[in-house]
Structures are given as C-alpha cells and as structure tokens.
Amino acid sequence: MKSSEAIYREALERLQQLIDEATAQGLDEPHAAALATADGDARPSVRMVYVVAVEEQGLLFFANIESGKGHQLLDNPRAALCFFWRALQVQVTLEGEVSLQSAEIADRYWQRRAREAQLASWASQQGAPAAPKGELRQKARQLEQALGFEAVPRHADWCAFRIRPERIEFWPSGWQRMRERTRYQKDPQGQWTQAALNP
Ligand SMILES: Cc1cc2nc3c(=O)[nH]c(=O)nc-3n(C[C@H](O)[C@H](O)[C@H](O)COP(=O)(O)O)c2cc1C
C-alpha cells in the first residue's frame, strides 16, 4: 500500500506533469489558474493568477497584499484553485490553507519578473480608481530613468502566498475515453488517501 507521503507526492507530480505538458505543447497560459477566496463573511470572489511553483510545502502565487484577494486571504486564509487545459482535456481543482510567505521568497521571484512588469507594479496601485490616461506610463518612465541600470526593488505590497493543498482532484474531460477521475484527499488524521470516482 502507498504511504500518505507517496500519495501526496504523486498528486503534486501529476499536476506538475500537466503544467510541463501544457508548456511543452505551447498552450496559452500553462501556469494560470482561477483562484477563489472568500471574505470573513464567506462572500466568494474568483480571478486568475499564475502559479509559479508546485512544491511539497504548497503552490506559490503572487498578489498585491492591498488587493481584494490580499485582504480576503488575510481575513480568511483558505482558498481554492482551478486549472483547465482544454488541449489536455483535464481540469485540476484543489483547496487548502493559505499562508503569507517571507520577504526573501517574494524577493527571489520578483527578480524573475520582466522589468516592465516590475515598473508597472510601482506605477499603479492595484484596484485603485484608474489614473488619467498616460499617467501610469509616465510614472513608470520616470522611475525607469531614476533607476538607470539599477534593479527595480520589490514593491512591499507585492507578496508571495502559498496554498497548502488538503484535496487535489483530477477531472478528465474526455468522456468518450472514460478516463478516471481521481481525488487525493487529506483525512482528519492528516493522512493522504486516493480514490477513483465516476466523472
Ligand atoms: C492569465 C492571468 C494571470 C494573472 N495572474 C495574476 C497573478 O499572478 N497575481 C495577481 O495578483 N493578479 C493576476 N492577474 C490579475 C487578477 O486576475 C486580478 O484581476 C487582479 O489581481 C485583481 O484581483 P482582486 O481585486 O480580486 O484581488 C492575472 C490575470 C490573468 C488574466
């Protein structure tokens, strides 16, 4: 029988393989997933994010701490993700607890972002009323000129979050192939189990 750790590892590997396959096939947005959060009164919201790493400690994504999702995650640190790659005919859903990550982790990934995206994070306050046309671009250019060849420092509001899955489900959409739907789930004792379900 597979151990709890082996079952959890298998689920993460399956997810990583799908992201790798979507990337290898040149599919649009292979790392993108819908992130659902809810506020302290359980009112839900959903939007897309990029999942930048699938690791044993959980899946990493980035968000502005002052955004709607940032506030919701601080109020209610639970979330769900939904990936779908049409060409691969599979959806992956997962749920779990979310934790704000260290500044070191956020710094590491900030450095991998395109310079344009880094400058844009400084120029625009996410979710604030739209600035007059051209103002954001002008702000970004001013910052760019002030920095010269220096690296753009991370905006303190740009934070790393990690969702630690408690359930991961693979739902194949090829009905004619009748492939297996699989649920990987952590039981109340903290042990991972795996079950095949009807699609
Ligand atoms: C494909 C795609 C990927 C996105 N990735 C991110 C992301 O990684 N982090 C982020 O904060 N917003 C990302 N966004 C923008 C969010 O979907 C959202 O509009 C924005 O963050 C504000 O959300 P909120 O007000 O619900 O917090 C992405 C949008 C798209 C379409």
| Spatial contact of 101 and 160, defined as CB atoms under 8 Å apart | yes
- C-alpha to C-alpha distances, 150 to 71, 141, 145, 146, nearest whole angstrom: 31, 14, 10, 9
Q: Within this chain, do residues 94 and 165 fall inside the same structural domain, yes or no?
A: yes
Confidence of residue 55 (pLDDT cuts 50, 70, 90): very high
* Residue of 195, 198, 183, 171 whose CA lies nearest to 85: 171
- 47 pocket-lining for ligand 1 (C-beta < 6 Å): yes
Q: Within this chain, do residues 103 and 184 fall inside the same structural domain, yes or no?
A: yes
| CATH number of the domain enclosing 162 | 2.30.110.10
Q: Within this chain, do residues 38 and 104 fall inside the same structural domain, yes or no?
A: yes
Q: Within this chain, do residues 80 and 143 fall inside the same structural domain, yes or no?
A: no
Quick check: 77 pLDDT over 60? yes
- 50 pocket-lining for ligand 1 (C-beta < 6 Å): yes
**Rounded average pLDDT over 85-98:** 96
- What is residue 123's predicted lDDT score, i.e. its pLDDT? 79
Q: Within this chain, do residues 49 and 14 fall inside the same structural domain, yes or no?
A: yes
Helix and strand element counts for the chain (H, E): 5, 8
Q: Within this chain, do residues 93 and 131 fall inside the same structural domain, yes or no?
A: no
- Residue-wise pLDDT tens digits, 9-32: 999 999 999 999 999 999 999 999
- 44 pocket-lining for ligand 1 (C-beta < 6 Å): no
Which atom of ligand 1 is nearest the CA belonging to 126? 22
Measured distance CA(63)–CA(157) in Å, rounded:
8
Q: Within this chain, do residues 189 and 160 fall inside the same structural domain, yes or no?
A: yes
Q: Within this chain, do residues 166 and 186 fall inside the same structural domain, yes or no?
A: yes
- 67 pocket-lining for ligand 1 (C-beta < 6 Å): yes
Quick check: 163 pLDDT over 60? yes
Q: Within this chain, do residues 85 and 62 fall inside the same structural domain, yes or no?
A: yes
What's the domain range around 73? 4-111+154-197
Domain count, the chain: 2
- What is residue 1's predicted lDDT score, i.e. its pLDDT? 86
Q: Tell which one of 50, 72, 82, 113 to mutate to probe ligand 1, the residue whose CB is within 8 A of the most ligand atoms.
A: 50
Q: Within this chain, do residues 38 and 82 fall inside the same structural domain, yes or no?
A: yes
| Spatial contact of 142 and 150, defined as CB atoms under 8 Å apart | no
Q: Within this chain, do residues 134 and 166 fall inside the same structural domain, yes or no?
A: no
6-10, 29-33, 170-174, 184-188: the lowest-pLDDT one: 170-174
| Spatial contact of 80 and 167, defined as CB atoms under 8 Å apart | no
Q: Which two tokens stand for residue 146?
A: 């002030």
Q: Within this chain, do residues 106 and 37 fall inside the same structural domain, yes or no?
A: yes
- 157 pocket-lining for ligand 1 (C-beta < 6 Å): no
